[in-house]
């Protein structure tokens, strides 16, 4: 009777099968990762948040800027504003002609605009 355990050669065949099976990330995930990249770039470009200081230090005298920032929702809101600014600048720089070009610029030609939005077919199909 032969040894039921797998030999190295056979286990290597299993590893090879695992290496070959590599699911590609969805366009939605790639888009989320790129969104994060743009937001992180904007955060890095924005001034260091005051929140890094101890909370007690903030409660005393507040400057005009701090009041204005607080009025629009604090530094996170400013990060959003900065994101929009950076992204706008980048769009101007990259100069994409239309949405298709923009998508190709961000994600490469393997993805199209249709990959970024859920298909309406799901809602239109009867059954």
Partner 1 sequence: MPFDAADQDTDEALLLAYGRGDARAARVLTLRLAPWVLAYARRLLRDAAEAEDVAQEAMLRLWRIAPDWRTGEAKVTTWLYRVVTNLCTDRLRRRRRGAALDEVPEPADDSPGAETRLQQAARVAALDAALARLPDRQRQAVILRHIEGLSNPEIAAILEIGTEAVESLTARGKRALAQALAGRREELGFDDD
**Treating both helix axes as pointing N-terminal to C-terminal, what angle do 27-45 and 99-107 enclose, rounded to 10 degrees?**
80
From 24-32, 56-64, 65-73, 77-85, give the range in contact with partner 1 by CB under 8 A: 24-32
Among 69, 90, 97, 100, binds partner 1 (CB under 8 A): 90
Give the residue with the Cβ less far from partner 1, 31 or 66.
Answer: 31
Q: CB 50: neighbour CB atoms within 10 A?
A: 16
Among 65, 94, 99, 117, binds partner 1 (CB under 8 A): 94
In angstroms, what is the minimal distance from the CB of 89 to partner 1? Answer: 9
Cα R_g (the chain), whole angstroms: 25
Cβ–Cβ < 8 Å for 84, 92: no
Asked if 45 is part of the footprint of partner 1 (rule: CB under 8 A), the reply reads yes
Give the residue with the Cβ less far from partner 1, 70 or 116.
Answer: 116
Q: CB 42: neighbour CB atoms within 10 A?
A: 19
Asked if 12 is part of the footprint of partner 1 (rule: CB under 8 A), the reply reads yes
Cβ–Cβ < 8 Å for 35, 80: no
**Treating both helix axes as pointing N-terminal to C-terminal, what angle do 75-94 and 64-71 enclose, rounded to 10 degrees?**
80
Among 22, 59, 67, 126, binds partner 1 (CB under 8 A): 22
Binding site for partner 1 (CB under 8 A): 2, 4-8, 10-15, 17-26, 29-30, 32-34, 36-38, 40-41, 43-45, 86, 90, 94, 105-108
């Amino acid at each position: 009777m032969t040894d039921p355990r797998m030999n190295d050669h056979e286990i290597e065949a299993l590893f090879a099968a695992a290496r070959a099976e590599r699911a590609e990330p969805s366009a939605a995930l790639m888009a989320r990762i790129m969104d994060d990249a743009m937001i992180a770039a904007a955060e890095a470009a924005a001034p260091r948040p005051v929140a890094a200081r101890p909370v007690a230090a903030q409660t005393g005298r507040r400057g005009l800027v701090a009041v204005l920032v607080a009025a629009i929702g604090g530094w996170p809101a400013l990060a959003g504003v900065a994101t929009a600014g950076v992204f706008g600048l980048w769009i101007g720089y990259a100069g994409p002609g239309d949405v298709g070009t923009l998508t190709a610029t961000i994600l490469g030609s393997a993805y199209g605009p249709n990959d970024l939005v859920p298909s309406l077919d799901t809602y239109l199909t009867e059954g």
